[in-house]
Amino acid sequence: MNDFRGGAPGRRARGELESQVLAALWSADGPLTPRQVLQCLPRDLAYTTVLTIVSRLYGKGMLVRHRAGRGYAYEPARDEASHTAHRMRSLLEGGSDREAVLARFVSELSEQDEQLLHHLLSGNDGGDDPGQPTEGR
């Protein structure tokens, strides 16, 4: 079965390492150097691999960098929620039938996510419990 890993055993799925680097940076209290990112990752990787990944993410505009000694420390350009929303919007815009994509997306939401979406669309700012009616609206 093709699992998008290129067929070679032991190879990572496309984008998996970038996702792990972003996750490490989102969970950090501030910018990290590539060596610090390497220490946050769960597998044994070469420093140069992590350096390549952060450089690519920086080149894509997904990270910002700050001078740290002779090198750089990196942090995400967007928080995780903004990044995910941007990806979702890009996928939606790439489809040929926006209405069908949105309808399918909503039909496959869990009941809890559907209630949250309804709550957000009704104009609630997210400060109240989505399961409770909002007073004064």
**Among 98, 133, 130, 136, which Cα is nearest to 117's?**
130
- Note the CATH number of domain 16-76: 1.10.10.10
Q: What is the per-residue pLDDT for 3? A: 43
> By the 8 A CB rule, do 25 and 75 touch?
yes
Domain positions in the chain are 16-76, 81-121
- At residue 33, the 3 state secondary structure works out as coil
pLDDT beneath 50: ranges in the chain: 1-7, 130, 132-137
Q: What is the per-residue pLDDT for 43? A: 80
d(CA 31, CA 134): 39
Tokens of 88: 């979702």
The whole model's pTM is what?
Answer: 0.69
